[in-house]
């Protein structure tokens, strides 16, 4: 069984890039969402092994979505995706239970390293 | 049945099996069709499965069952495809990780991803394996297999862990929190700088300095930390505060001691008790002959007892060399070099405290040999042998060797030495320059040996144990790194000196020699005092000054202890020498342990406490030691 991943980002470009990285690594991308609210619904539906979550998104921010996911599933494995210079948001997300974070621009190896570390 | 009493034994035994698995897979990779190796691998996995299922550690059982199944398939086909070797090794690593979880009282990590990756796509289940009488039998059998072994409880260690982050790490405070979380997984995080609340406030963070109580091997912790993005370096310092002990339940691990050795302890203790009565009688009756005789008998018994206790603490070196084949194999892959590893002397015994401390330096030397020594193809030989009351561990490679000349140049470029000093440096001393902090021979720090400990840390670790490090190398002739270590660290030979009227001790291992110089031979060079020793000009420090004690003016003769600091000889002036003897070293408690330059204390026959000083750190930390000494040579010529 391959690792099941959900990709959350409001930019199609970022979603596609992350999807390619995961698919190439043999993971299965089971869901993608372009805002926090959609992410919440899809999370309950698909229960992925891993979520990559953009921080700044319309409707519901990545941090709010993270908080709600963690409340419903304390074992959730969420990795935040942030831009450079969003240190305080990243800090907030880590406090809220994010397992790790990726800072844009990122490299494929970097993403996989982080994912493999937290999914053990 | 309460299974928790078997926990320690389960953990230590399973680690041994994992070690064996690693070695066997590496052997198998060289000889893929070797039936005996495949059988042995199968048995190792099978043993782990039986024990883990009995203990109720489901995932460990499930994973070992999975590996066992896989290996069973190869028993039929008679060959292990080379494509499976990495998979097997990943499985063994995962087993090791599960064991880490169990050791730190965590729930077992997920193994689903690994099982999903199976070459045959056949996830296996062991849920139906009964954890009942049958299981208990298999554990009992496992224990009976080693009838000569008993279990002894040993304390967990407190480590100081220094984790360096890359300079440009984004959101470093958040990264710091993740590092603390990872450390919490490995044991009890006692404190850290910066602490959690400081990190929460978003304070800048370049390095985390944490105190961790753990029974895990530092290597596992290092590996986990290095996997965190942004972490560039991890260092471990064994902390003296482990003496304060604490949570035994969590922090204990077990070693095996032969029962005949335990019997010997009882016998010797019995004889000592008898001797005590003999001494009583002799004292009451004022029978001096009897007293003298019994006293000499007692000292023989104590020596015997010490010898046996030492025996019990001795562990064969293969406990750590066993992991080297795997490390070398992985490194060869990574570097694309063809490296053969020769191991000899694995049976040589060494004190378990020393063994633990010497693991990191040894692994580093081996990594270095593969990374910097060997060019494309070559041999790394790790050997151990007993030299009287020392153990010599050597890491030798037949690679390109080291050239002292560029090292001299680099020391001058870095301002560590003047060009005159560099020229005066012997080749042997020039090679030792690589042990200077921050002095790396490789132009670029490669991923392999640039991580973890550097040569400075290797040297420091060896010195801390009272050992010495020597490098023998020349261009084209390969390199040999020799660590000479004492058999035990609790009892050492000391040199007793008097300083400002007080007795002080220093480990003999730190002393090169003692001198009684005519005071007239000591010259002043600026602020410093120097003297000639053969061709060499040696700086002289006053021990009293370094300790902040009142100076005693030397008479016609100045008593000097010659030591080595950062590869250079220096003299330490004392009042006079009081002699040499063996001493039982006691660690200093808080707050004395915070004093620089003191490494412990021992009690004299008259009950007086004598501090043992660490002359190197006393001089270095007191910043009395400087490498630049312009004009010295002029003043003397």
- Considering the domain architecture, whether residues B498 and B632 belong to the same structural domain is answered as yes
Q: Assess whether B187 and B228 both reside in one domain.
A: yes
Query: Residue B471 belongs to what H/E stretch?
Result: strand B468-473
> Is residue B257 domain-resident?
yes
**Residue in the block written with tokens 């993740």:** B178
| Together in a domain, B309 and B369 | no
Say which CATH number the domain at A68 has.
3.40.50.2300
Which residues face B494 on adjacent strands?
Answer: B507, B581
**B327 and B470, same domain (yes or no):** yes
Instruction: Decide if A110 and B229 are in contact by the 8 Å CB cutoff.
Output: yes
Alpha helices, H only, B153-228:
172-186, 196-200, 218-226
| Structural domains counted in chain B | 5
Question: Interface of chain A against chain B, CB under 8 Å?
Answer: 1-3, 26, 49, 82, 84-88, 90-91, 93-95, 100-103, 110, 113-114, 116-117, 119-120
Contact B586/A at CB under 8 A: no
Dist. CA B367–CA B219, nearest whole Å:
14
Contact B173 A100 (CB under 8 A): no
Q: Which residues contact B445 (CB under 8 A, 6 or more apart)?
A: none
In a domain, B421, yes or no: no
- Nearest-angstrom CA–CA distance, B149 and B237: 31
Same domain, B24 and B135: yes
**pLDDT at site B438:** 64
Q: CATH number for the domain including B351?
A: 3.30.565.10
Residue A80: per-residue pLDDT: 95
CA dist., res. B116 & res. A4, Å (int): 11
- Among B380, B372, B371, CA closest to B335: B371
Q: Is the separation of the CB atoms in B314 and B350 below 8 Å?
A: yes
Weakly modelled stretches of chain B, pLDDT under 50: 120-155, 240-251, 441, 443-453, 623, 625-637
End-to-end CA, chain A: 15
Q: For position B254, what pLDDT does the model report?
A: 62
Instruction: Give the pLDDT of residue B134.
Output: 37
Report if residue B142 sits inside a domain. Answer: yes
Q: Do B614 and B598 contact (CB within 8 A), yes or no?
A: yes
- Which of B486, B504, B519 lies at the terminal end of a domain, its last residue? B486
Judge whether B432 lies within some domain: no
B164, B123: one domain: no
Q: Hey, which residues does B553 pair with through a beta bridge?
A: none
Which residues of chain B make contact with A100, given a CB cutoff of 8 A?
178, 228-229
Bridge partners, B161 (sequence order): B210, B236
The helix or strand, by DSSP H or E, that contains position B305, with its residue range, turns out to be helix B288-313
Does B423 reside within a domain?
A: no
Which structural domain range is residue B122 located in? Answer: 3-147
Q: What is the DSSP letter of B520?
A: G
State whether residue B532 sits within 8 Å of chain A by CB. Answer: no
**Could you tell me which residues come within 8 angstroms of residue B173 by beta carbon, excluding any fewer than 6 positions away?**
A87, A91, B199, B200, B201, B202, B203, B204, B205
**What integer pLDDT is reported at residue A83 of this predicted model?**
82
B562 lies in some domain: yes
Q: Are residues B535 and B622 in the same domain?
A: yes
With CA atoms as reference, the chain A residue closest to B90 would be A120
- Shortest Cα distance, chain A CAs vs residue B224, angstroms: 8
Q: How far apart are CA B560 and CA B129, in angstroms?
A: 71
Instruction: Please tell me the predicted confidence (pLDDT) of residue B240.
Output: 42
Count how many domains chain A has: 1
Q: Looking at the domain assignment, is residue B434 inside a domain? A: no
User: Rounded CA gap, B621 and B595, in Å?
Assistant: 10
User: Is the predicted ipTM greater than 0.95, yes or no?
Assistant: no
Domain check: are B206 and B163 in the same one? yes
Q: For residue A98, give how far its alpha carbon lies from the nearest alpha carbon of chain B (Å).
A: 9
Considering the domain boundaries, does residue B410 fall inside one? no
Question: Are B247 and B257 in a shared domain?
Answer: no
Going residue by residue through chain A, which has 120 residues, state the pLDDT in tens, using 9 for 90 and above.
789 999 999 888 888 889 999 999 999 999 999 999 999 999 999 999 999 999 988 888 899 999 999 999 988 999 999 887 788 899 999 999 999 999 888 888 889 989 988 887
Tokens of B244: 């304060």
List of chain B residues whose C-beta atoms are within 8 Å of the C-beta of residue A101: 171, 174
The three-state (H, E, C) secondary structure of B73-103, written as one string: HHHHHCCCCHHHHHHHHHHHHHHHHHHHHHH
Q: Which residue has the tokens 């060399």?
A: B321
Assess whether B374 and B397 both reside in one domain.
yes
Closest C-alpha among A86, A38, A29 to residue B174: A86
Domain span including residue A46 = 4-119
Structure token pair of residue B219: 């290597």
* pTM value > 0.80: no
Are residues B617 and B519 part of one domain?
A: yes
CATH number (domain holding residue B174): 3.30.70.1110
Return the residue in B107, B119, B171 with the most chain A beta carbons within 10 A, the one to mutate for interface testing: B171
**Cβ contact B600:B612 at 8 Å:** yes
Question: Distance from A51 to chain B by nearest Cα, in Å?
Answer: 16
Residue of chain A minimizing CA distance to B95: A120
**Residues B322 and B456 occupy one common structural domain:** yes
Give how far A118 is from chain B: nearest CA, Å. 9
Cβ neighbour number for residue B369 with a 10 Å cutoff: 29
* Residue B541 C-beta-side C-alpha neighbours within 13 Å: 24
């Amino acid at each position: 069984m391959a690792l099941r991943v959900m990709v959350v980002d409001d930019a199609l470009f970022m979603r596609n890039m992350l999807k390619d990285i995961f698919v190439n690594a043999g993971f299965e991308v089971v869901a993608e969402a372009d805002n926090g609210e959609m992410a919440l619904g899809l999370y309950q539906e698909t229960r992925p092994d891993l979520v990559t979550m953009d921080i700044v998104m319309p409707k519901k921010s990545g941090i709010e979505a993270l908080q709600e996911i963690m409340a419903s599933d304390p074992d959730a494995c969420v990795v935040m995706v942030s831009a450079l210079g969003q240190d305080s948001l990243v800090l907030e997300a880590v406090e809220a239970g994010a397992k790790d974070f990726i800072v844009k621009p990122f490299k494929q190896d970097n993403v996989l390293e982080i994912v493999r570390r937290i999914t053990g | 049945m309460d299974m928790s009493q078997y926990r320690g034994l389960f953990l230590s035994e399973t680690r041994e099996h994992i070690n064996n698995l690693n070695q066997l897979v590496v052997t198998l990779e060289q000889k893929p069709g070797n039936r005996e190796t495949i059988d042995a691998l199968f048995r190792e996995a099978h043993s782990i499965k039986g024990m883990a299922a009995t203990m109720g550690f489901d995932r460990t059982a499930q994973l070992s069952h999975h590996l066992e199944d896989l290996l069973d398939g190869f028993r039929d086909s008679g060959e292990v495809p080379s494509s499976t070797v990495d998979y097997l090794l990943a499985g063994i690593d995962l087993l090791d990780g599960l064991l880490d979880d169990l050791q730190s009282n965590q729930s077992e990590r997920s193994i689903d991803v690994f099982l999903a990756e199976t070459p045959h796509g056949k996830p296996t289940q062991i849920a139906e394996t009964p954890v009942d009488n049958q299981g208990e039998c298999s554990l009992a059998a496992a224990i009976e297999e080693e009838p000569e072994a008993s279990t002894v409880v040993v304390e967990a260690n407190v480590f100081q862990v220094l984790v360096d982050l890359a300079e440009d790490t984004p959101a470093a405070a958040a990264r710091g929190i993740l590092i603390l979380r990872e450390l919490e997984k490995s044991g009890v995080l006692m404190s850290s700088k910066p602490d959690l609340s400081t990190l929460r406030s978003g304070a800048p963070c370049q390095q985390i300095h944490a105190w961790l109580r753990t029974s895990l091997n530092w290597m596992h912790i290092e590996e986990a930390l290095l996997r965190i993005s942004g972490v560039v370096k991890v260092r471990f310092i064994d902390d003296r505060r482990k003496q304060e002990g604490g949570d035994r339940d969590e922090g204990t691990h077990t070693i095996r001691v032969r029962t005949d050795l335990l019997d010997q302890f009882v016998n010797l203790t019995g004889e000592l008790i008898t001797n005590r009565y003999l001494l009583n009688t002799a004292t009451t009756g004022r029978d001096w002959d009897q007293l003298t005789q019994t006293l000499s008998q007692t000292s023989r018994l104590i020596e015997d007892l010490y010898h046996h206790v030492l025996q019990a603490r001795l562990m064969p070196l293969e406990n750590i060399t066993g992991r080297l084949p795997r490390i070398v194999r992985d490194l060869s892959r990574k570097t694309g070099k063809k490296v053969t590893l020769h191991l000899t002397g694995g049976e040589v015994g060494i004190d378990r405290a020393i063994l633990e401390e010497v693991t990191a330096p040894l692994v580093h030397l081996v990594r270095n040999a593969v990374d910097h020594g060997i060019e494309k193809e070559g041999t790394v030989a790790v050997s151990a042998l007993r030299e009287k009351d020392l153990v010599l561990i050597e890491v030798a490679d037949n690679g390109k060797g080291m050239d002292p000349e560029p090292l001299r140049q680099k020391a001058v470029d870095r301002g560590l030495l003047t060009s005159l000093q560099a020229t005066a440096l012997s080749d042997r001393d020039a090679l030792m320059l690589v042990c200077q902090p921050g002095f790396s021979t490789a132009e670029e720090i490669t991923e392999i040996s640039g991580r973890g400990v550097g040569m400075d840390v290797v040297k420091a670790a060896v010195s801390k144990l009272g050992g010495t490090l020597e490098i023998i190398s020349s261009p084209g002739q390969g390199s040999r790194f020799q660590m000479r270590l004492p058999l035990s660290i609790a009892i050492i030979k000391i040199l007793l000196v008097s300083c400002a009227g007080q007795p002080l001790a220093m480990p003999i291992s730190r002393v090169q020699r003692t001198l009684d110089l005519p005071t007239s031979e000591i010259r002043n060079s600026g602020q410093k005092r120097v003297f000639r020793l053969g061709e060499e000009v040696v700086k002289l420090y006053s021990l009293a000054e370094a300790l902040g004690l009142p100076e005693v003016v030397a008479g016609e003769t100045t008593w000097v202890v010659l030591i080595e600091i950062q590869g250079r000889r220096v003299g330490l002036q004392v009042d006079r020498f009081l002699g040499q003897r063996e001493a039982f070293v006691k660690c200093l408690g808080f707050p004395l342990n915070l004093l620089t330059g003191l490494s412990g204390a021992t009690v004299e026959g008259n009950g007086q406490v004598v501090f043992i000083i660490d002359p190197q750190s006393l001089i270095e930390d007191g910043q009395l030691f400087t490498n630049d000494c312009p004009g010295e040579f002029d003043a003397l010529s």
